[in-house]
A and B are shown apart, each in its own frame.
Chain A
Amino acid sequence: MRVRVDLSRPVVIGFAAILCLLIVLPMSWLVYFSVTDRSGALTLGNFRQLVTDPVFVAPLITTAIIATTSSLACCLIAAPMGWLVARTDMPLRRTVRALVTASFVTPPFLGAIAWELLAAPNSGLLNQAFRALTGAPQDEHLLDIYSLPGLIFVISCYTFPYVFVLVANSLDRIPGELEDASSILGGSAWVTARRVTIPLALPALLAGALVAFLQAMTLFGSPAILAIPAGFHTMTTKIWSLFQYPPKPELAAAASLPLLVLTVLLLRAEHVILGRRGYSVVGGKQGDPRLVRLGRVKWVALGAAFIVLLNPVFLPYFALLNAAFSRVASQLVSFGNFTLHNIHFVFFELSSTRLVLKNTLVLGVLSATIGTLIAVVIGYLTARKAIAGHRALGFLATAPVAVPGIVLGVGLFLSYTRPPFVLYGTLWILLIAFVTIAMPAAYQQLQSAYRAVHPDLEDACRILGGTRLQALGHITAPLLRASVIATWCFIFVGVIRELSAAIMLFTSETKVISVLIFDLNESGDLGAISVLGIIMLVVTFAVVILANRIPTFGGRIRLRDA
């Protein structure tokens, strides 16, 4: 005798409520604040000030320039690199991919600080080397990182992996037969590339361009570190500055909305472009991609790839390592100035180190666990269309992708500093932010993992008398294990490097490592930053390597930027 209890309605309602709390509530407060004045009366004054006051118009234009040029630069670098790695016989292709992953997981704000060490006009290591080599006078410099081009360069360094991953993955999937057909019909290598390969990869490239545009537009750390010394703002730094004393939350909310709207529009565009991709990848068995033989050029190509990778990986890591052990951050380590002082300072003098590491780890583990759990359930419900309302759940889980970190930070701050939910000052508010930020990628990854497990397998279990839960436990769960662990790791890594939402939400008791590094940068404590940055990178790489050891890992994962 079995009592059938229909749990589907409470489940849908429960998870929909969670997702609403994560995303609908903060965005509603954001919109409410943007259209009201201090007294709570409706007004469009905030928006009027936004479009007429030069204090806001200039950052808007700067942001547009940065996003456009970074996106272009990323495509110009990442597309050929993706092609080299996916479709040619260039040596060390796996290593190059791994190094791009390294730049992928390097927090952009840490990269920006490292580039200060490298290319500050006078003290930067590269400029010093330039003067030493050319005998140029003291005040001449090759590079100035505190400039619009400098900022665009640093942003591109940590944004191009998004384009690279999309392009390389798409090239991986293009069947070799299509190119073979072109060759058989007499097409030269160039004609094949122009008529077959490039058109097939173009949607991915365009999607990459959009993602890069969004990343560059919504980044907070790098502009705060490089633009403000140079005397200009971007939209994100401007929004953040509106929370300095005296805070102007209504203007911050109004300034956040254009970012939000633009993100939604661009993501729609991406969807339209990627939606067309279906025609290219023919189902059934396909030949391995045909590798283009580069001959001797392959060494040139490899050299070029490594020169590119100097910028996001080798040079910055070197600069951080050097600054960690040098008495003066702008001097190369030598017998004369080698010091362990910075390490001693961070571990034995800096009283917030322990608290901050603890907060970061607790938040990383909790966000990853909770985020993965929610994604597992919602992914299952939507992939199996298990209950009515699954579509709405899927939409809610994907929606946060349209919310830039700093905008989410503003929204959460407005939502949770007042009744009925006062969460400001607790780790909960940060947990909500991090889970929300991670949700779209986690959900997409797990949903596609569910799709890969054919329902027939579960049905077989049901037919043999198993319950739905038994089917899940004995069949689906073991098959999904690897994806779940990979998702967990990626949320964890994303949390560790998150800055833009955390900077709006932290209090002294709930500081995380990214915020501490940002604080230290404002008082110029470069040695301590380097030590903390290296700790951060070591933890991140440990987790990434762990994730990479798990088979079947490697879906399309989008890490959010700090």
Chain B
Amino acid sequence: MKNWSRRDVLKGASALGLAALGRPIEAAAPPAQAVTPALIEAARKEGKMVWYTAVDLPVAERVARSFEAKYPGVACRVERSGAERVFQRIGQEYASRIHAVDVVNSSDAAHFIAWKRDGLLAPYVSEDVARHYPAEHKDPDGQFATFRAWLCVIGYNTNLVKAADAPRSFADLLDPRWTGRIVKAHPGYSGTIMTATFQIARDLGWGYFEKLAKQRVMQVQSSADPPKKLALGERAIMADGNEYNMFQLKEKGDPVEIVYPIEGTPLIIGPNGVFKDAPNPNAARLFQSYCFTPECQQLIVDVGGLRSVHPLAKEKPGRRPFAGIKKMKDDPAGVERDAEAIKARYTQLFRV
């Protein structure tokens, strides 16, 4: 088995946290739902579904197209934005009683705490989730499960920075020689960066960000963008960004290299859930079920560069094995609690 021990403890803790919030944990998760011909037929009748997601657009569209190839007649439309934007969008739409979202994927696991608390999610457990997924990666009430995992890493452009000179830690980014040469994404847009900012501030203190803000960083929005800016050669260093985009670019031959900072790398968990008021409930469940199949999980690993928690998905050779990387602890409940304060403090420091 993989080494999940640290997260075991944590997820247990966050589950307890949920219980403490006054929501009784039901005796058992709802039973696994098989993909029956009746479900497929009902989904075909609906003909379409919408996936609100924060995963980088090309990866999301690949997942959607592979789903459509497997279930012809059910179109999957990807509605992509940063996780914080997706959260705001769903909130705004639901406040106006617009129920457009079928399935959601966020890079900020804290959002699922909020959606679950508001009673917006439908319990639905696919066979793969029931049979294969580790307990810490599925909601005890069956309302969501971990669709993807990845890290928020440091990176550099190998044409602009020699490997020997490259930063090895967060502390290295504060070196004056990187002033004006760093690109960084925004926690007000990206769930990845929100989660990472929480973990870094918790482990290294806000002093790190106070100093980083003086480095004249180029402030972009999506955590998918810093890797792309590195590949363009627009900046030499990225202070944060998606490991999975770095894998994609590197394997395409772009001059980028990943750094797993010695202080530990922020761990990001991206669950998937079905909305209770989904306009296409059957297609939504069919898609949710597809997302956790070994087929789809292998696709997001191979093509997307993501990490899978499905035990049957294999890691791609040449990438640093997930288990061997020193990670910061994820803590969705903590992010849920602090998100607003983090945004405010970040805006104050970085001025945007």
Contact = CB atoms under 8 A, between A and B. Distances in A.
Interface of A: 55, 58, 120-123, 138-139, 146, 227-233, 241, 243-247, 328-330, 345, 349-352, 355, 417, 422, 424-425, 507-509, 519-520, 522-526, 528
B6 interface: no
20 contacts: A120-B234, A122-B232, A122-B233, A233-B352, A245-B85, A246-B340, A328-B254, A330-B232, A345-B58, A350-B57, A417-B92, A417-B95, A522-B220, A522-B221, A522-B225, A523-B225, A524-B222, A524-B229, A525-B58, A528-B57
B57 A139 contact: no
B225 A524 contact: yes
A228 B220 CA distance: 7
Interface string B55-90: 011100110110000000001111111101101110
A351 B61 contact: yes
Interface stretch (B96-104, B133-141, B163-171): B96-104
A241 B186 CA distance: 13
Given A55-B348, A247-B92, A351-B76, 8 more contacts: A122-B232, A123-B234, A228-B352, A230-B219, A231-B216, A507-B100, A524-B224, A525-B58
A425 B96 contact: yes
B100 A122 contact: no
Contacts of A351: 61, 64, 75-78
Contacts of A350: 57, 61
A424 B228 CA distance: 34
A139 B177 CA distance: 12
B220 A508 contact: no
Across chains A and B, which 8 residue pairs bring their CB atoms closest together, nearest first? Answer: A524-B225, A245-B88, A425-B98, A524-B228, A523-B222, A123-B234, A123-B232, A522-B221
A461 to B, nearest CB: 51
- Among A233, A246, A526, the most chain B Cβ lie within 10 Å of the Cβ of A246
A519 B251 CA distance: 26
B340 A122 contact: no
A519 B79 CA distance: 10
A406 to B, nearest CB: 17
- Among A121, A122, A345, the most chain B Cβ lie within 10 Å of the Cβ of A122
Nearest to B61: A349
Nearest to A422: B96
B161 to A, nearest CB: 10
Interface in B220-252: 220-222, 224-225, 228-229, 231-236
B234 A122 contact: yes
B160 interface: yes
A245 B98 contact: no
A83 B52 CA distance: 53
B181 interface: yes
Interface residues of B, number: 59
Contacts of A229: 218-220
B91 interface: yes
Nearest to B234: A123
B350 A523 contact: no
B77 A352 contact: yes
B332 interface: no
Nearest to A426: B98
B147 interface: no
Contact of A244 (B79, B188, B348): B188
Given A228-B352, A231-B219, A245 B91 contact: yes
B319 interface: no
Contacts of A328: 231-232, 254
A422 B97 contact: yes
A244 B65 CA distance: 30
Contact of A232 (B75, B87, B352): B352
Nearest to A146: B218
A233 B229 CA distance: 21
B291 interface: no
Contact of B56 (A230, A247, A329, A523): A523
A244 B344 CA distance: 12
Interface in B237-272: 254
B76 A508 contact: no
B234 A507 contact: no
Given A123-B232, A330-B233, A351-B78, A507 B351 contact: no
A474 B101 CA distance: 53
Contacts of B92: 247, 417, 507
B219 A228 contact: yes
A424 B89 CA distance: 12
A417 B222 contact: no
B101 A508 contact: yes
A433 B283 CA distance: 34
Nearest to A413: B92
Interface in B79-129: 79-82, 84-85, 87-89, 91-93, 95-98, 100-101
- Among A229, A233, A330, the most chain B Cβ lie within 10 Å of the Cβ of A229
Contacts of B78: 351-352
Contacts of A241: 188
B50 interface: yes
A463 B130 CA distance: 86
A244 B84 contact: yes
B254 A523 contact: no
A53 to B, nearest CB: 11
A231 B232 contact: no
Contact of B96 (A123, A231, A245, A424): A424
A233 B219 CA distance: 12
Given A123-B233, A519-B81, A417 B225 contact: no
A350 B77 CA distance: 9
Given A232-B352, A352-B78, A417-B95, A425 B100 contact: yes
A228 B347 CA distance: 11
B290 interface: no
B352 A231 contact: yes
Contacts of A345: 58, 61
B88 A247 contact: yes
Nearest to A523: B222
A244 B88 CA distance: 7
A312 B50 CA distance: 38
B189 interface: yes
B41 to A, nearest CB: 23
A155 to B, nearest CB: 18
Nearest to A423: B96
Nearest to B348: A55
Contacts of A246: 340
A523 B79 contact: no
B83 to A, nearest CB: 10
Contact of A55 (B57, B65, B347): B347
Contacts of A330: 232-234
Contacts of A329: 232
Nearest to B233: A123
Nearest to B48: A351
A520 B82 CA distance: 11
Contacts of B160: 122, 138-139
Nearest to B85: A244
B312 to A, nearest CB: 27
B344 to A, nearest CB: 10
- Among B56, B75, B222, B348, the most chain A Cβ lie within 10 Å of the Cβ of B222
A402 B194 CA distance: 38
A243 B88 CA distance: 9
Contacts of B62: 349
A350 B59 CA distance: 11
B220 A524 contact: yes
